[in-house]
Amino acid sequence: MNKKSSFFKTDIQAGVVVFLVALPLCLGIALASGAPLFAGIISGVIGGIVVGLLSNSQLSVSGPAAGLTAIVLAAISSLGTYETFLMAVVLAGVLQMLLGFVKAGTISNYFPSNVIEGMLTAIGIIIILKQLPHAIGYDVDNEGDFFFIEKGTGHNTFSAIIDAINYSHLGAIFITLVSLGILIAFNKVAFLKNLKVVPGALVAVVTGVLLNEVFKATGSSLAISQEHLVNLPVPKSFDDFLGQFSRPDFGTLMNPQVWIVALTIAVVASIETLLCIEAADKMDPMKRYTNTNTELFAQGAGNILSGLIGGLPMTSVIVRTSANINSGGRTKTATVAHGALLLIAVLSIPTVLNKIPLACLAAILLMIGYKLASPTVFKHMWQNGKYQMVPFIVTVVAVVFTDLLKGVAIGLVVSVFYILRANLKLAYFFKKEEYHEGEVVTIKLAQEVSFLNKAAIKQTLQHLPDNSKVLIDASDTFYIDHDVLQLIRDFLNIGSKDKDIQVTLVGFKDEYNLENSNHVSSN
């Protein structure tokens, strides 16, 4: 059976969960960006279907991104009209395609895993903190606002939680608890866990809708009002629906301000995308690698189309990608399915969607946040030693208290400091040798191997021919970075088996725990 077809059911289930997560985020990010609400839906549909099909990634999900809201809000204001802003989005897409063409995506190889782990853990913490108010019925903050300092109010994440306690709603709390109970049951109870017909998130949402409809029908004080439900635009006619689309003002093509905004969007969106792709590859249970240059090309194509019909700029986004992986998504079928569901839902059942309590969706996101920031992640990083733990903790704190890009930049600085301190003396080198006895490729490691060498080693391992033999020699090596060890471990356990490559390890210390291969250890 084809691998992709064997994952079809779980991919569709994951697509449903991602759709439920993406719907309020698309609307919330559009609202926070000062754009029409439908612009967020357009971006989500294109990100799911178009970018999903063009992307080389099997797991990442694209759509409107929280990290771009401040840029978009300022750009719409400074450029004067939304149509002028759309011109900048189209140009940003063109620039991203050019970045892919010149292979700028390779910079993702230089993101150390402790920083990526820190970013994912921080996103999990932020999701939990941001969803707690929604979980108890306080929906003042937009879905998709992941900044510590909230725009406009000057409040921060913690003060919003304190305010939420004073405005909590018993009905929302009840529905959140019921939804969490259902989600936990689908994760823990064997019968429900093995049930492949329907995802737990969908059961939680349907239950939440039915409960609230019962509350309203009986006049209960637990009934949740419309401002605490999903708020999707509902067109009254087909002409109204078509009126939600916009076109860029091509007359502003030569406006320097438009080009400045386009360049800003292209750079920020590309960096966020590369960070998410690296994170998605790290979370991938099948340990596949994404061609990041193809990804930039796909993102550029998506932004061109989004700008042409009135959508927001998009990136590969961590929250939806995490939801996809944690829900069982294994191929791009899940990503495309989520985009198709967004399109079908807004065309056919917008009034039904507007009955979904935000408390239900908060419960789903709370579960996603917990999985990203579970205690086992901290335990794992602690066991890897201070050179992994310190940059990890710094990244977590920096992302939570600033934003994604600033936090990752701070984490990178700390990580590079530790790496440079360990790599001042010797550089990395490797060589290939072909022997007559069966094409043996020898990769010789230097005395110290850092994460800066990960890209070269990854390229070498990726391009090894099928049915070949490779000898990785660490006889003279005193230090191998955790990232490189993980790369070699993944190649031993998965990559080499997929290509029927025979691997021999020489000189690796027992403490590196490469037990899944027959190798010669150094004593």
| CA–CA distance, 266 with 509 (Å, rounded to integer) | 44
Q: Hey, what are 348's tokens? A: 């056919």
pTM greater than the 0.95 cutoff: no
Whether 429 shows a pLDDT value over 50: the answer reads no
Whether 404 shows a pLDDT value over 60: the answer reads yes
**Measured at the alpha carbon of residue 486, what is the angle toward residues 480 and 491, in degrees to the nearest 5?**
115
Average pLDDT over residues 376-385: 88
pLDDT at 323: 92
What pairing do the DSSP bridges indicate for beta strands 440-444 and 448-449? Answer: unpaired
Tens of pLDDT, residues 184-209: 999 888 888 776 678 889 999 999 99
490-523 core/surface letters (b: 16 or more CB in 10 A; e: else): bbbebbbeeeebebebbbbeeebebeebebeeee
Whether 358 shows a pLDDT value over 60: the answer reads yes
CATH topology (fold) of 440-521:
Transcription Regulator spoIIAA (3.30.750)
| CA–CA distance, 47 with 324 (Å, rounded to integer) | 14
Whether 435 shows a pLDDT value over 70: the answer reads no
pLDDT at 163: 81
Give 358-380 as a DSSP string.
HHHHHHHHHHHHHHHT-HHHHHH
Among the listed residues 273, 362, 348, the one whose alpha carbon sits nearest the alpha carbon of residue 93: 273
Whether 357 shows a pLDDT value over 60: the answer reads yes
3-state secondary structure 74-135: HHHHHHCCHHHHHHHHHHHHHHHHHHHHCCHHHHHHHCCHHHHHHHHHHHHHHHHHHHHHHH
Tens of pLDDT, residues 294-323: 999 999 999 999 999 999 999 999 999 999
Q: Which range scores top for mean pLDDT: 1-15, 202-216, 451-465, 490-504?
A: 202-216
| CA–CA distance, 364 with 179 (Å, rounded to integer) | 8
Contact 199, 162 (CB under 8 A): no
Please report, for residues 47, 72, 86, the alpha-carbon distance to residue 98 in angstroms, rounded to integers and kept in the order given. Answer: 19, 22, 19
| CA–CA distance, 430 with 49 (Å, rounded to integer) | 41
358 contact partners, CB below 8 Å, separation of at least 6: 24, 134, 139, 143, 172, 228, 229, 230
Beta bridge partners of 504: 471
| CA–CA distance, 208 with 204 (Å, rounded to integer) | 6
Average pLDDT over residues 445-459: 78
pLDDT at 82: 96
Tens of pLDDT, residues 255-274: 999 999 999 999 999 999 99
pLDDT at 3: 57
Average pLDDT over residues 9-26: 93
Whether 516 shows a pLDDT value over 60: the answer reads no
Average pLDDT over residues 9-34: 92
Q: What are phi and psi of 507, to 5 degrees?
A: 85, 5
Among the listed residues 163, 146, 168, the one whose alpha carbon sits nearest the alpha carbon of residue 372: 146
Contact 319, 330 (CB under 8 A): no
Whether 387 shows a pLDDT value over 90: the answer reads no
Of residues 3 and 413, which shows the higher confidence score?
A: 413
Tens of pLDDT, residues 58-92: 999 999 998 898 899 899 999 999 999 999 999 99
Taking each helix axis from N to C end, the angle separating 170-188 and 358-372, rounded to the nearest 10 degrees, works out to 50
Say which amino acid occupies 340.
A
Burial of 223 (0-12, 13-18, 19+ CB in 10 A): middle
| CA–CA distance, 171 with 135 (Å, rounded to integer) | 10
| CA–CA distance, 47 with 307 (Å, rounded to integer) | 12
Beta strands in 201-335 (DSSP E): 314-317
Tens of pLDDT, residues 102-153: 999 988 888 888 899 999 999 899 889 888 999 999 887 766 666 776 665 6
Q: What are phi and psi of 473, to 5 degrees?
A: -110, 115
Confidence of residue 154 (pLDDT cuts 50, 70, 90): low
Q: Hey, what are 451's tokens? A: 């994460």
Domain boundaries, the chain: 30-363, 440-521
Among the listed residues 521, 126, 33, the one whose alpha carbon sits nearest the alpha carbon of residue 322: 126
pLDDT at 146: 66
Among the listed residues 314, 427, 319, the one whose alpha carbon sits nearest the alpha carbon of residue 367: 319
Find the helix or strand (DSSP H, E) in which 457 lies: helix 454-462
Mean pLDDT over the full length of the chain: 87
Q: What are phi and psi of 319, to 5 degrees?
A: -60, -50
| CA–CA distance, 44 with 309 (Å, rounded to integer) | 13
Whether 505 shows a pLDDT value over 80: the answer reads yes
